[in-house]
């Protein structure tokens, strides 16, 4: 078992974070605008606070990218290096988040329609970001 190449881990995480941020812009800024506006209205959220949280979400996507690549590095010893392992690691983290957001849906934070749509779009984002970050990682 070899050691993790920390430099490549961070570089891959950066690339995965860039991909995740780009896809989240498309998902949340274009494809799910109506669902987001509905949530803001239903939950009486401050539009100013929602806009101010964008910086936080950018950082979250970079941390998500790092986590995706870290899980990929951990899964390599079990599944081998390559795109298949990147897909498995991306889907593993995606599934974990979907479980948590299912609880939020049951609380009324997300509508069922928004949860299903966001889950499907986030699957694409997680897998593509994981593939991009894994392509950079080498031991």
Which of 62, 52, 50 shows the shortest CA–CA distance to 22? 62
Distance CA 139, CA 32 (A): 38
Reply yes or no on whether the pLDDT at 2 is more than 90. Answer: no
DSSP state of 1: -
Question: How is the chain split into domains, by residue range?
Answer: 6-136
Reply yes or no on whether the pLDDT at 139 is more than 90. Answer: no
% of residues, the chain, pLDDT over 90 = 96
Query: pTM for the whole thing?
Result: 0.93
């Amino acid at each position: 078992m070899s050691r993790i190449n920390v430099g490549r881990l961070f570089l891959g995480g950066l690339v995965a974070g860039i991909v995740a941020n780009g896809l989240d812009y498309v998902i949340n800024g274009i494809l799910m605008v109506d669902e987001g506006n509905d949530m803001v209205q239903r939950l009486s959220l401050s539009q100013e606070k929602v806009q101010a949280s964008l910086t936080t979400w950018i950082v979250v996507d970079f941390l998500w990218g790092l986590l995706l690549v870290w899980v990929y590095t951990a899964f390599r010893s079990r599944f081998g290096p390559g795109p298949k392992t990147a897909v498995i690691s991306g889907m593993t983290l995606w599934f974990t988040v979907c479980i948590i957001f299912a609880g939020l849906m049951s609380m009324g934070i997300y509508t069922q329609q928004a949860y299903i749509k966001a889950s499907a779009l986030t699957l694409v984002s997680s897998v593509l970001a994981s593939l991009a970050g894994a392509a950079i990682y080498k031991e």
